[in-house]
Amino acid sequence: MDFSSKLLENAVYEISQLPGIGKRTALRLALHLLKQPKDQTSALSNSLLKLREEIKFCSNCHNISDVVLCEICANPKRDESIVCVVEDIRDVMAIENTGQYRGLYHVLGGRISPMEGVGPQNLTIDSLVNKSKEGIIKELIFALSSTMEGDTTNFYIYKQIEGMGLKTSTIARGIAVGDELEYADEVTLGRSILNRVPFENSLKLG
């Protein structure tokens, strides 16, 4: 792409670094911003800067939060004996939307994937294992995507906490293997949390 302006070229380059955005789309977005009032670009830039600089991760569940302890962990009405293990905040949002779950979460920050160079040490598994040792948690619900990486991660955690006397279960999903949790519809997801099955069952089937 030949640009008549270095400023435009830089902006297009930066926008095109975002996932799913090619050079053409980046150019369209940059030209769109030029047509809008300056305030709008300021608001966009400021919100992105603040997001990056001020965001925190909950000290208990590692979910993205504006404060040290997230709203869910700080809520005394939530049942701290049940912890739902998920990959990221999108899963928390999907499960919260069902309105069916009253326990807490543990956000791993991804799943074990040797292909992508993600090992257990890159996730918050140690924190989960340490929390499990404290004796407050009675049940872990694995709610990772039903992919090979998700299954590997479930099994790895299961082996780490084996012998601690924790109940482990997986959400019984009526959706196809490989479907991401965030795309599951709320009714199905809500039902699958209520009808979760012991993790050991999924091992026998596998």
> Contact positions toward Zn ion, by CB under 5 A?
58, 60-61, 63, 70, 73
- Least distance to Zn ion from the beta carbon of 70, Å? 3
- Least distance to Zn ion from the beta carbon of 46, Å? 26
Q: Which is nearer to Zn ion, 33 or 64 (CB)?
A: 64
* E-strand stretches of 103-196: 103-107, 139-142, 167-170
Count Cβ atoms below 10 Å from residue 101 Cβ, excluding itself. Answer: 23
Residues comprising the chain, all counted:
206
Q: Which is nearer to Zn ion, 30 or 72 (CB)?
A: 72
Written as six digits, the tokens of 20 are 């799913």
145-174: b or e for each residue (b if 16 or more CB lie within 10 Å)?
Answer: bbeebbbbbbbebbeebeeeebebbbbebe
Tell me the pairing of strands 139-142 and 103-107: unpaired
Identify the three-state secondary structure at position 192: helix
Residue with tokens 């069952």: 201
Choose among 141, 202, 204, 140: nearest CA to 177.
Answer: 202
Q: Which is nearer to Zn ion, 127 or 160 (CB)?
A: 127
- Least distance to Zn ion from the beta carbon of 80, Å? 11
Q: Which is nearer to Zn ion, 132 or 146 (CB)?
A: 132
- Least distance to Zn ion from the beta carbon of 58, Å? 3
Q: Which is nearer to Zn ion, 58 or 184 (CB)?
A: 58
- Least distance to Zn ion from the beta carbon of 132, Å? 16
